């Protein structure tokens, strides 16, 4: 009787298959081939790429490094973003100016900004070390020491994406009802108690959303590493996405990089699902 409805759904379904399912299915198929520079095409090699991946220490090290970078940068972004949002939430002088100013880093192109930051961090020619020395701090090996290079990547990431957190959290703050705050004031709660007992719980849902979006984005960290450090020194800043890029685009191991990508996709999907559940339980437990 309602068979016509399928006809109307068909265009949408076809588009969905074309743009989402086909690339994914094709990637799965490629991952079971040895397609590379000397062996083009979709031959069948079974699970060889996955067996090789299992023993690829550099891939797993990159994944661990990425996990650290993601958790650390997103935590910092959330903390700073929340602080900035609270700062311009209430009536302060030049509130609109600050709201726009805080969004500027997010509106710049990541690759271009990474080039700018690379110049800033340049130990011979960049401005950062002379500034540090002018205020009595020794010049630092920003891009040639493993720890500092990791810190440099984190600084750029936090600088670029804190505004995103700021934007979402400010939107959340502006949508909060006034009544709970009035009640807290009547009950004599101070600013810290009000924040911990009223603001933070009410911001739980939007916080989870903002954190998850940023976790997903940060887990694809690639441009900053590519421009700033090329994964070095050594492999100190190599992330999973950058490693897959090297294997796929530089080494042209299309089959192997497909298996790396799929494994990465599965690991991230599982991890983010678990993180999402934990965050919801932790931050919005009263509403579930």
Partner 1 sequence: MKTKTTLRGAMLTTSAILISAGAALAEDYTRFGIKEDVPGACSFASIDAKDYSGRTLNIITHAIPVIGEPTALHAQQFQELTGATVNVVHVPFGDLFQRIMIPFQTGQQAYDVLFFASLWLGDFNAYLAEVPQAYQEVSGMQSVTPTYKGVASWNGKMLNYTMDGDRHYLKFRSDVFDNPEMQALFKEKTGRDLTVPATWEEYNEVAAVFNNMDWDGDGAPNFGTAEVTKRDDLMFSAFISRVAPYAKHPDVKGGFFFDLETMEPLVNTPGWVRGLELFVAAQASMPPGGTSFGLGDEIFSFGGGQTLMSYSWDDAFIQAMQADSPIRNKVAAAPLPGAREVWNRTTGQWDTFETPNTAPYVTWGWSSAVAAGSQNQDMAFDYLCFFSNEANTLADLQIGRFGVNPYREAHFDPAFYQTELGWDANVATTYTDTLKAIDGGQNQVFDLRVPGVGEFMSSLAAGVARAQSGEASAQEALDGVAAEWKAIVDRIGVDRVREAYANVVALEDN
Residues 4-63 contacting partner 1, CB under 8 A: 34, 36-41, 58
Dihedrals phi, psi of 126, to nearest 5 degrees: -80, 160
Decide if residue 180 touches partner 1 (CB under 8 A).
Answer: no
The C-alpha atoms of residue 109 and residue 112 are separated, in whole angstroms, by 5
**Binding residue count for partner 1, defined by CB under 8 A:** 36
Decide if residue 123 touches partner 1 (CB under 8 A).
Answer: yes
State both tokens at 88: 């311009």
Decide if residue 175 touches partner 1 (CB under 8 A).
Answer: no
Decide if residue 127 touches partner 1 (CB under 8 A).
Answer: no
- Estimate to the nearest angstrom the gap between the alpha carbon of 241 and the chain centroid: 11
Q: What is the CA radius of gyration of the chain?
A: 23
Decide if residue 80 touches partner 1 (CB under 8 A).
Answer: no
Instruction: Give 199 or 253: the residue with its C-beta nearer to partner 1.
Output: 253
Decide if residue 139 touches partner 1 (CB under 8 A).
Answer: yes
Short-list 78, 79, 159, CA closest to 117: 159
User: Least distance in Å: CB of 152 to partner 1?
Assistant: 10
Decide if residue 252 touches partner 1 (CB under 8 A).
Answer: yes
For partner 1, which residue of 117, 142, 164, 264 counts as binding (CB under 8 A)? Answer: 142
Report, in this order, helix, strand and coil percent for the chain, each rounded to 5.
Answer: 75, 0, 25
The C-alpha atoms of residue 259 and residue 257 are separated, in whole angstroms, by 5
For partner 1, the binding residues (CB under 8 A) are 34, 36-41, 58, 122-126, 129, 139, 141-144, 146, 149, 226, 229-236, 246, 249-253
């Amino acid at each position: 009787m309602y068979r016509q409805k399928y006809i109307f759904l068909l265009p949408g379904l076809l588009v969905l298959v074309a743009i989402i399912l086909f690339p994914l299915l094709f990637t799965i198929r490629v991952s079971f081939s040895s397609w590379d520079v000397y062996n083009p095409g979709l031959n069948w090699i079974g699970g060889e790429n996955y067996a090789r991946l299992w023993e690829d220490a550099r891939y797993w090290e990159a994944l661990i490094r990425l996990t650290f970078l993601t958790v650390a940068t997103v935590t910092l972004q959330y903390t700073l973003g929340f602080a900035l949002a609270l700062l311009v939430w209430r009536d302060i002088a030049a509130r609109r100016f600050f709201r726009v100013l805080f969004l500027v880093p997010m509106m710049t192109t990541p690759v271009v900004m990474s080039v700018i930051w690379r110049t800033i961090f340049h130990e011979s020619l960049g401005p950062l070390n002379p500034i540090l020395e002018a205020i009595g701090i020794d010049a630092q090996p920003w891009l040639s020491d493993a720890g500092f290079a990791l810190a440099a990547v984190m600084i750029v990431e936090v600088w670029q994406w804190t505004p995103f957190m700021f934007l979402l959290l400010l939107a959340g703050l502006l949508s909060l009802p006034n009544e709970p705050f009035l009640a807290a004031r009547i009950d004599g709660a101070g600013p810290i108690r009000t924040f911990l007992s009223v603001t933070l719980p009410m911001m739980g849902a939007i916080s989870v959303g903002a954190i998850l979006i940023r976790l997903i984005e940060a887990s694809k960290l690639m441009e900053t590493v590519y421009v700033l450090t090329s994964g070095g020194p050594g492999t100190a800043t190599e992330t999973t996405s950058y490693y897959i890029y090297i294997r796929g685009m530089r080494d042209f191991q299309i089959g192997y990089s497909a298996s790396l990508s799929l494994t990465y996709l599965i690991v991230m999907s599982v991890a983010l699902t678990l993180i999402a559940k934990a965050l919801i339980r932790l931050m919005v437990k009263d509403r579930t």
